[in-house]
Structure 1
Amino acid sequence: MDNHPIKILLVEDNPGDVLLLEETLSDIAHFRLELSHAERLSQALHRLEAETFDVILLDLLLPDSEGLETFLQIYDRAPLTPIVVLTGMADETLALRAMQAGAQDYLVKGRTSSSDLLMRSIRYAIERKRNEAALYQREQEFRTLTENAPDIIARFDRNLRHLYVNPAVEAVTGLSVRDFLGKTNRELGMPEALVKQWEEALEQVFETGEQVSIQFEFPTSSGLKYYQSRCVPEFALNGSVESVLAITRDLTEQKQLESQLLRAQRMESLGTLASGIAHDMNNILTPILAIAPLLPLSLPPLNEQSRQLLNILEENAKRGADLVKQILTFSRGLEGERAPIQVKHLLGELEQVMHSTFPKSITIVCNIATEDLWLVSADATQLHQVFMNCCVNARDAMPQGGTLTISAENRAIDEIYARMNLNAKVGPYVVITFTDTGTGISAEHIDRIFEPFFTTKAWGEGTGLGLSTAMGIIKNYGGFISVNSEVDKGTQLQVFLPAIEGIETPVPEKQNRSLGRGELILVVDDEENIRETLKITLEIQNYRVLTANDGIEAIAAYAQHRNDIEVVLIDMMMPLMGGAEAIRALQQFNPQVKIIACSGVAVSDSFLKTTGVKAFLAKPFTASDLLNALHGAIAAE
């Protein structure tokens, strides 16, 4: 106990019992006591409204109330205050019922003459109540933390059944929390391989008392996700493992970053290997190409068959040399004769070649966004090779016909875009886009299309060097290539080339049109760097900004500020709740909500139409793209 007096409320109508308790309490010398007295239940309730007490000594038989109802009314008024019931010798059953209802202790009248007994009862009552309050507080803190945590948190008993699971599991599995309680993963119908992995991990924790970590894949509505679970033992008082707490975290983004790093390392290794092979091949082919033309001069007159054989030898050596040149272009980018080039002239020539050589079943559309297309510094032959390769790949992806659209535009890449694309740098670019309606590229192949010798074409129909060579050329110019594709929907390949500085065709000024007027924008993205970058950009442009890192936070923010939020800018790929689900939920609040969707992967036109999204921004996008989209969404009815 501390130095403050222990405040006691005595609720007793018998003057003799009151006097006895007062005398007994006065004999307690080690504690400062402050006693208040109430004769009726109504008086006690009034006192409890006015002040708080450390303990209540309560007689259950009062002039205006009798029995358990007396306790219940006091308990309802002061649930956090410990209550010690005072009872006669014949009413111990009633006192026990009161303890079952929440009383901390009971004392039999006539047996309270011992000050030690009375004080011990008071102290124990206070301590037990404090312990209960502390336990309740810890439970509330646990629930607050777990139920709002982005990680999935679950507790398992020794039969591997779910004792607890937090709401984060619902967005991943589509099942409710109630579906999990009391059931095992097997009873929930989880995949057999996953069930076995979990059973082995949980059983190991119960047997050894040591934590276990596992990683697994799980199919969700937004695609295959990767998770890591840490299973931690929870011990009983006897030292045995009573339950296991499992914390499961989404590792999909981390896996993607690891995949990008491994891909970059693989490309670097392949480049080093290819460079070495090319060097040796050049040493082999050089003497062949040098000697082949000399043989007819140094040998007696050759017959027709011998001359044909020599021609075949020379032609194949030249083909080998061209192949080596492609390998070197991929591995380190061969320098061509650079000069200022107007890309639209190259595209015009390319269009003529395609019209005369491509099947008539393929419609070719060439669209130059501006007459004042910026210049680039490059080798015309190499650029023609890159563009032609892109067109040939598009042709091969449309064996039954389709449409190939080629466009070119000026684009000023800013810090937002550069942060979202590691290959990009701030500055002006000319962007050439090739879009086909062909078969598309599967997710398992799209990460490998720039690798040398990798091809999805049939044996003998491709070397696998076309796109790798194109990538080598464009990287050598300080540019980059991006690809978006969807199986059976088509592929979009964009070539970014740095524009020459000092061009007299500035970007059309749209600053005044894009400036905000204090509109509130809700930005939803699970990438913190992107959220903060967009927030700063929009605030500079006179917008107000709210941010959320997933769909659940977005719904909460919109519910609170629905009358103020003008536009919601939302990423389509997020943990817990994806963009599509969040959009549907937001439209439940307000069917007229203005939404701009953004994503690093292609989104179909049908999705935009069916969801009522005002605009779509393909990541990475520039600040100009963002501001124009916002202006259009705000102006839209």
Structure 2
Amino acid sequence: MLGHSVTILLIEDNIAEARLLQEYLQQAESKQFSLVHVKRLGDALNALRHNNYDVILLDLTLPDSQGLSSLSLLIEQSPSIPIVVLTNTNDEDLAIEAVRQGAQDYLVKRQVNVHVLVRALCYAIERKQTLESLRILNKSLENRVEESTAELVKAQEINQFKSDFVSMFSHDIRNPLNTILLAAGLLQDNEEKLSQEKKHSHFQMIRSAIKNMAQLLDEVSFIGKADAGRLQCDLVAVDLEAFCRQLVEESQLVIKDKQIKVIFNFPQPLEPILLDESLFRHILANLLGNAIKYSHPGGQVKLELFNQEKTVTLKIQDSGIGISIEDQKQLFQPFHRGDNVGGISGTGLGLAIVKKCVDAHEGEIFVDSEVGVGTTVTVIFPKI
């Protein structure tokens, strides 16, 4: 909410109308308003160059400007200042078009009172601030995308891979960006018509889309660090059996939602082995997540650990959609996804991350899969 006095630039050639609006603002109890009145668009543009304003009240009929040309010039000079259009009764269609072109609201002069005027000004400022915050966020995300992209492709010598990466990344990040823009547009254009429940739903959509973009950026950053040789492996003693059970427990919501049965097979007792706990979590979380995600509802996932003299083997088996022989050739390439995944969501980065983490442990990973039958992923860790 606004917590300071509100400075208004009123562009109105009718002195009587201007005085009436000033009287309304003086009557407002909840806010303190300061109004600067000019009669011409040229004077308004000059005032904007030398002073700061919180909101503009614009009459669309001025001596030196007519209709929407005033609006476009004001937006061009001061894009961050919200504009509320003032219109006569018979100009309402023009005012609606002004809102489509960037004005935050419009007021029909004969219908204005203290409450309507104050509410329109405050809502216009708040809406503009929300949109400005989203614009800054989008710009920040674009910068992070550029940084992550540069970090990833720096270590690559193949121009084709760079081209494919940029294309696929742009595609994957466009969906959440479009969700943000759509939800923000609905909130802006239909705020007074939307119920609180609908508003909450739109804000939830925005938050979820931002979370998805952040996750994608984190995954790309991880790949970039690995390719740049900056992936550290800090070894600690890890109880693999306890770790596996804990991660399955953390995945119970999605497991129950898909009615997946998880089977453990730990035939031999395991002593803790030296692993990087964070990297191992990436390995297990991605492999277990894929096994659940690509399994059919009511399917089965088997998680096994085998203790050998010099190695420990982790095996995760599912009875899901499987991977074709052709797709298996590119399985660990960033952004590669099988032709048969259909509408199942994913970034195509999970297995690439797993491969980097396994390599950091000087381990090995093997995939055995058949379309329509299922997939078994085997990871072998050396005992250090």
User: What TM-score range do you get, normalising by the shorter chain?
Assistant: 0.3 to 0.5
Task: Select the structure with the greater relative contact order (CA < 8 A; seq sep ≥ 6).
Answer: 2
Instruction: Specify the structure having the higher radius of gyration (Cα).
Output: 1
Q: TM-score, normalised by structure 1?
A: 0.30
Q: TM-score, normalised by structure 2?
A: 0.47
